[in-house]
Copies of this chain bind each other. A is one copy, B any other.
């Protein structure tokens, strides 16, 4: 027995590993094996999921949290509210197309929008490093204010703490948001059905690659900017045009591949994606080749995945393509009854491969 148990992990085939992962997702008891936090625990992949399930859900257990969406949807005082929070530790703080400020506001706005809610107000908690230039803080808050105006929300409350030099990398921002929704049914992976189509709202991976270039980790110059943007307008148009929207999820940490894995595991259905259908700009593909990573795993901050009933596929696509932020939306795949919990990719070369969830994110501190 002892020999068997020790030998098993090494001998397990890829298929067995996948099945084990699915089983863990099903029973909601993923194991956290490390005794100490690693960067992977914050990267949005399977290590993050294990931490969330075995520490946070375990401690706080309640239906809203266990839904593990982009935010919680709950009844409060007879109204259906959406509530969400995100900590931002991106480095560098300023990058082409944005900074930690509009990234935080857009990120929280989008989490509310993904719940099917209309964002109402935000809070902002700042952890500042002693010695951080006040001018940089003003730049960040100006950018937050502009992003909030664009999304039609107000930053109504906040808090500031200061930590000693050498901590906090200048500035960390945690934004929370409250939204309201009148939708009778809550969006979620449990509404997914075999035959549904999978839509990606625009070219993927631009935020992540922009950050890597801004860090100087890629010796290329590229005309590329973060895709950070508030998605309330195109999503409102989508929900209006397509009542058959099953679930929305923004493709931040871990990228489109991680979102699809989360949805497949939660719905206990398969997802098949056509590689050739996924919108990716050549410069992102090129940078990813240099980095040795797959753009499917690279974070976006203004793109989302929508699963839509097939009867509404054309209406959904037309609604999205009518808005500048989602003009390049594309149907990239479909939901299947086969291969529950798995994401399969039909490659451009005619093969099929499993798109697994990574342990960590190949690009740390991206948001």
Contacts and interface: CB of A to CB of B under 8 A. Distances in A.
Contact of A172 (B52, B84, B172): B172
A121 B60 contact: no
Given A60-B141, A145-B60, A172-B127, A88 B135 contact: no
Interface centre among A125, A131, A133, A164 (most CB of B within 10 A): A125
Interface in A28-81: 32, 34-43, 48, 51-52, 55-56, 58-60, 62, 64-65, 71-72, 74, 76-81
A164 to B, nearest CB: 7
A156 interface: yes
Nearest to A80: B77
A85 B174 contact: yes
B164 A167 contact: no
B35 A133 contact: yes
A257 interface: no
A41 B162 contact: yes
With most chain B CB atoms within 10 A of its CB, the pick from A40, A72, A79, A162 is A162
Given A65-B156, A79-B76, A85 B34 contact: no
A137 interface: yes
Interface in A335-367: 364-365
Nearest to A76: B120
A128 interface: yes
Interface string A146-173: 0010000011111111111011110010
Contacts of A38: 130-131, 162
Contacts of A34: 134
A296 interface: no
B37 A132 contact: yes
Nearest to A107: B159
Contact of A55 (B41, B77, B87, B137): B137
B160 A48 contact: yes
A250 to B, nearest CB: 13
Copies per complex of this chain: 2
A89 interface: yes
Contact of A163 (B124, B174, B365): B365
Nearest to A172: B127
Given A77-B180, A87-B159, A158-B65, A37 B167 contact: no
A282 to B, nearest CB: 31
Given A76-B180, A135-B35, A142-B59, A161 B42 contact: yes
A86 interface: yes
Contacts of A37: 128-134, 137, 162
Contacts of A161: 42, 87-89, 172
Contacts of A163: 42, 89, 169, 172, 365
Contacts of A304: none
28 contacts: A35-B135, A36-B132, A37-B130, A37-B132, A37-B162, A51-B160, A52-B158, A55-B141, A58-B141, A60-B144, A60-B148, A62-B154, A72-B156, A74-B121, A76-B120, A76-B178, A76-B180, A77-B80, A77-B120, A77-B180, A87-B125, A87-B160, A88-B161, A89-B163, A125-B125, A125-B176, A127-B127, A167-B167
Top-8 shortest CB links A-B: A42-B162, A176-B176, A85-B123, A59-B141, A72-B156, A77-B180, A174-B174, A64-B156
